[in-house]
Chain A
């Protein structure tokens, strides 16, 4: 299917795009939050180690 045909699909196009965009955004956010969580735990563990050494 070419690009012109895709944009001519009519009323359903918007719903399809919304579903794909919501999924893409959702997956990106889940990945970002997972990465941030790991970073936070690493910082906390390092800080605790420093405090104990002091």
Chain B
């Protein structure tokens, strides 16, 4: 385990691993995304209260969950960079930030589209919506901070601290609907105990979660490779790879 971890800290090894994994992640996500979309749109029965509008669940929840997951990944990678001084850790954090920011925007957009028929408004300063928006600011802050220094290692360290501080917000987003009165519905699937949905409506959600996870893995491989190239462009191994 530790040997693999230290090997992962080597930029050429991480670059080649990402290069090898990328097509597997991306190509396996495509059929799963299609199956999840067909299942969510056509095959599951409508909800007894929300009728067909609940079908947005199959895109909104995986996207929103992933926006939190990517943040935790980014903070963990930044912490690895800070503690073990691994360049690959910083590269992974910098690679995850734009993907996470885009997923947060998508979660807010799909949530807004779901909110219009269910809540009667596109936007409300509800605690879940507000904390998710704060997370978007952390992503944007990280990206801005990472670009505001000429010295890459200084930018990495400073942005990593912000990423770690911002991870405090992740459990607040997750449990906001439990801790406070919220217009947003409570957790349906990703909670302790049994899911609050019938199994006939659950299967596209699980497929969508796996598909989105694989998709994120694929895009992350693209960006990790780009970040490693940016940091190591003067080295001999990059010349060999290119």
Chain A interface, DSSP helix/strand/loop, else mixed: helix
Beta-carbon nearest neighbor of B236 in chain A? A49
When A and B form their complex, what is the total count of cross-chain residue pairs whose Cβ atoms lie within 8 Å? Answer: 103
With A1-B42, A16-B52, A33-B98 known as contacts, the answer to whether A26 contacts B229 (CB < 8 A) is: no
Q: In the docked arrangement, what's the CA distance between A1 and B242, Å? A: 51
Alpha-carbon separation in the docked complex, A11 to B60 (Å): 19
CA distance A22 to B215 in the complex (A): 16
- Known contacts A16-B55, A22-B113, A45-B242; is-contact A37 B42 (Cβ 8 Å): no
Asked whether any CB of chain A lies closer than 8 Å to the CB of B219, the reply is yes
A-B contact pairs, 27 of them (CB 8 A): A1-B45, A6-B42, A9-B52, A10-B52, A12-B51, A12-B52, A15-B114, A16-B41, A16-B55, A19-B56, A20-B37, A20-B40, A20-B41, A22-B110, A23-B59, A23-B63, A23-B106, A24-B37, A26-B105, A26-B109, A30-B99, A31-B26, A31-B215, A31-B222, A37-B223, A37-B226, A44-B233
8 Å CB contact of A42 from B45, B99, B114, B242: B242
Fill in one digit per residue for B21-52: 1 if any A CB lies within 8 Å of its CB, else 0.
00000100000010001001111011000011
- Whether A38 touches B222, Cβ cut-off 8 Å, given contacts A15-B113, A26-B106, A48-B233, is yes
The bracket for how many chain B residues form the interface is 35 or more
Give Cα distance in the complex from A1 to B39, angstroms.
Answer: 10
- Which of chain A's residues have a CB closer than 8 A to the CB of B113? 15, 18-19, 22
Nearest-neighbor residue (CB-CB) of A27 within chain B: B215
Task: Determine the chain A residues whose CB is within 8 A of the CB of B99 once the complex forms.
Answer: 30, 34
Q: Using known A-B contacts A37-B222, A37-B223, determine if residue A45 contacts B102 with beta carbons closer than 8 Å.
A: no
Interface residues of B (CB under 8 A from A): 26, 33, 37, 40-43, 45-46, 51-53, 55-56, 59-60, 63, 98-99, 102-103, 105-106, 109-110, 113-114, 116-117, 215, 218-219, 222-223, 225-226, 229-230, 233-234, 238-239, 242
Is there contact, CB below 8 Å, between B222 and A23? Answer: no
How far apart are the CA atoms of A1 and B233 in the complex, in Å? 54
Note all chain A residues with C-beta closer than 8 A to B116. 15
Inter-subunit contact B109/A42 (CB<8 Å): no
Whether A38 and B225, one on each chain, are in contact in the complex, defined by CB atoms closer than 8 angstroms, is: yes
Residues of A within 8 A of B51 (CB): 9-10, 12
Q: Which residues of B lie under 8 Å from residue A11 when comparing CB positions?
A: 117
B179 to chain A, nearest CB (A): 27
Q: What is the CA–CA distance of A8 and B230 in the complex, to the nearest angstrom?
A: 52
Beyond the given A1-B42, A15-B114, A45-B233, please list 20 additional residue pairs across the A-B interface where CB-CB is below 8 A: A12-B51, A12-B117, A15-B56, A15-B116, A16-B52, A16-B55, A19-B110, A20-B37, A20-B56, A20-B59, A24-B37, A27-B106, A27-B215, A31-B26, A33-B98, A38-B222, A41-B226, A49-B233, A49-B238, A49-B242
